[in-house]
Amino acid sequence: MSHTSSIQDRTPEFRSILTQAQKTIARQRKTGQSQPLLPPQQNEQNGSATPPTRKQRSEFARNAAGIGRGISATMGKLQRLGELAKRKTLFDDRPVEIAELTYVIKQDLAGLNQQIGSLQVLQKQSSSEKPRGKADQEGEHNKNVVVLLQGKLADVGVHFKDVLEVRTKNIQASRSRQDNFVS
């Protein structure tokens, strides 16, 4: 069974599109303006919508972003606490700074946990208010965001516990050395 297919050479068409795009880019560089290569109707057809502005973002998204920033800031404080806790010399110890950081991190963790609880309530409320089709997809996404934030906060809590255990071991070792030196 012989099957012949006609092959069409579209190289000239490709080259003309490429030349047109290069000219458009060169024009943009000269004028300093940024314009899309595709006309607006093609952008919409391809599904590449512009990202929402700050005003257009939902309350859920704003709260979730704030919690994410809070977790990141707390992790930075925790790293500083970890650096201080790992110091083993008696003369380089900073108990006041360590105590302050410990207190601040505990407050941050409690506040973030409360914010995640509020976000979870907001997520449940918003999914019950929307039409069924959209609520399923958006509700599932929001639920996944809440679970992700809870997981990240739990990781920070575990890391905090580990840092405090290192600090406790270092204090015990320092006391042991001090007792050996004194006796």
- Contact at 8 Å (CB) between 59 and 121? no
Query: What is the pLDDT at residue 6?
Result: 79
Q: CA of 92: how far to CAs of 12, 100, 168, 171, in Å?
A: 73, 17, 16, 12
Distance CA 5, CA 8 (A): 10
Helix (H) or strand (E) holding 17: helix 11-31
Write the pLDDT tens digit of every residue in 95-152: 888 889 999 999 999 999 999 999 999 888 877 776 666 667 888 898 999 999 999 9
- The first and second tokens of residue 96, run together, are 């006041």
* pLDDT single digits (tens) 52-62: 555 556 888 89
Q: Cα dihedral sign for 121, 124, 128, 131?
A: positive
Q: Is the pLDDT of residue 46 over 60?
A: no
Residue 49 reports pLDDT greater than 70:
no
Distance, CA of 86 to CA of 71 (rounded, Å): 22
pLDDT on residue 44? 46
Confidence of residue 43 (pLDDT cuts 50, 70, 90): very low
* pTM more than 0.75: no
Residue 162 has pLDDT above 80, yes or no: yes
pLDDT confidence of residue 42: 45
Distance (Å, whole) CA 107 – CA 71: 12
Burial class (CB in 10 A: 0-12, 13-18, 19+), 174: middle
